[in-house]
């Protein structure tokens, strides 16, 4: 299993650093429970570098893409609004 650092996460997702951390922050209006949590690379109990499991980031991307497809398939009324 590969761990990737923030620059690769931003490249894969298209999200900026601040957007990623806002998705991780529970009290943020942009909180996203489905976004993968980082793994600490520092010794136990210490703050430091983090990484993400590449497979979790790729899975999240597939989920986002699949939900977009579902939204596209929703029936529309005559004004083009979803019913």
Mind listing the pLDDT tens digit for each residue in 27-66? 999 999 999 999 999 888 788 899 999 999 999 999 999 8
pTM of this structure:
0.79
CA distance 21 to 18: 5
**What percentage of residues in the chain have a pLDDT greater than 70?**
82
- The confidence band for 4, taking pLDDT boundaries of 50, 70 and 90, is very high
Other CB atoms within a 10 A radius of the CB of residue 6 amount to: 15
Q: What pLDDT score was predicted for residue 75?
A: 63
Task: Report the mean per-residue pLDDT for the chain.
Answer: 88
Predicted confidence at residue 58, as pLDDT, reads 98
The half-sphere exposure of 50 on its side-chain side, counting CA atoms within 13 A, is 15
């Amino acid at each position: 299993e590969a761990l990737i650092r923030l620059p690769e996460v931003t490249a894969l997702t298209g999200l900026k650093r601040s957007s990623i951390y806002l998705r991780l922050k529970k009290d943020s209006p942009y909180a996203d429970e489905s976004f993968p949590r980082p793994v600490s690379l520092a010794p136990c109990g210490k703050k430091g570098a983090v990484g993400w499991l590449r497979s979790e980031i790729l899975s999240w991307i597939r989920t986002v893409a699949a939900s977009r497809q579902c939204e596209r398939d929703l029936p529309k009324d005559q004004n083009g609004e979803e019913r």
